[in-house]
Structure 1
Amino acid sequence: MAQVTFKGNSVTLLGNEVKVGEKAPNFTVLANDLTPVSLEDSKGTVRLISVVPSVDTPVCDQQTRRFNEEAARLQGVTILTVSVDLPFAQKRWCGAAGVEKVQTVSDHRDLSFGQAYGLVIEELRLLARAVFVIDKNDNLVYVEYVPEVTEHPNYEAAIEAAKAAL
């Protein structure tokens, strides 16, 4: 399993760690209007999935805004931001932040995404920070489990992986 810390303290990740070259596991999360969203819903497109503990924290806010800005240059890439924030909170945050190109989805109900990708922080019931790029054939082509939850992912590497998968 990925070794991850939160504010310097080791945390336990639950679920199944994924690796480049594997088929991306399916999941069911909730859109801001409470409709279910799964990997199957964006089948045939390149997906960049940005995972954050909560959009209401500074690094998560910056990460989501960064991928929202990149979305305009990544034509043909579906970008999802997954957190365990309630869908209502995500919708409010997106409105206040002007985030319109990234779809925020909530894993709060049953941690389907977090379990499928090995990201559930047992001690906090939050998701660890990560970025995944999935190609049009549902293969994982980029996987980053950020070692320290309070730090930023490698934006450039994720963006390049998404471009290469087009």
Structure 2
Amino acid sequence: MTASAPTITLKGNPLPLAGALPQVGQNAPNAELVNNDLAPVQLESFRGKVLVLSSVPSLDTPICDMETRRFNQEAEKLGERVQIITISMDLPFAQKRWCGAAGIERVLTLSDYRAADFGTKYGVLIPAIRLLARAVFVVDAAGVIRYVQLVPEVGQEPEYGPILQAVKALL
């Protein structure tokens, strides 16, 4: 029996997602993304660190901007054992420009623009607009998903408290 694909909303309008979200206790799927210098990056290369994988529609929107800035502030407090990664369909050039303008130093931005590998494997691709839904996955150092939050409305920020609690429980 397979789980049905979830639906989120954008300004109240329903948007189905492609695939199913991975569940707590499952191994985190590997995905190939692209860094700001156009080099491929495998998510599994971060094994050994606690990961916060934050998918957002676009860094050039107010909520994504606020969310990524907030995670950048939190990363300072969490230390080197934690890697926070913001993933979007934005082109790597746009991500690099945005990070420079926003002073983002602790959050790594990776792009899923090439093949939507992350969006498909993590069930957060919005096929109708080819963007990623707002979601957060916390992955332990062994590569197991320990927390999942799919934000039901694109225009809302995630609930940070439970995310940070899940991360701290792994340190």
TM-score by length of 2: 0.95
Give a deviation string over 1:122-150, Cα, whole Å, max 9, x none: 11000000000000111110100100011
Partner deviation per Cα, 1:39-86 (whole Å, 9 max, x = no partner): 211111100011100000000000000000000111110110000000
Shift of 1:36: 1.1
Whether the aligned pair in 1 keeps the contact of 2:33 and 2:43 (CA below 8 Å) is no
C-alpha distance in 2 between matches for 1:148 and 1:165: 28
1:24 to 28, 33, 36: 28
2:98 aligns with one of 93, 102, 105: 93
Unaligned runs of 5+ in 1: none
Determine what percentage of the aligned residue pairs are the same residue: 53
CA RMSD of aligned residues (A): 0.8
Helix, strand or coil for the counterpart of 1:11?
strand
Alpha-carbon distance, 1:16 to partner: 3.2
Unaligned ranges ≥5, structure 2: none
1:34 and 2:48 aligned: no
Given that residues 24 and 140 in structure 1 are in contact (C-alpha distance below 8 angstroms), is that contact kept between their aligned partners in structure 2? yes
Q: Which amino acid in structure 1 is aligned with residue 68 of structure 2? A: T
**Secondary structure of 1:23's aligned partner:** coil
Structure 2: distance between partners of 1:104 and 1:15:
23
Structure 1 segments (4+ residues) deviating >6 Å: none
Question: What is the CA–CA distance in structure 2 between the aligned matches of 1:138 and 1:5, rounded to whole Å?
Answer: 30
Letter in 2 for 1:99: I
Match of 1:119 among 124, 134, 154: 124
In structure 1, give the amino acid aligned to 2:32: T
- State the TM-score, normalized to the length of structure 1: 0.97
Q: Distance in 1 between matches of 2:19 and 2:7?
A: 13
Q: 2: distance between equivalents of 1:164 and 1:129?
A: 23
SS in 2 for 1:4: strand
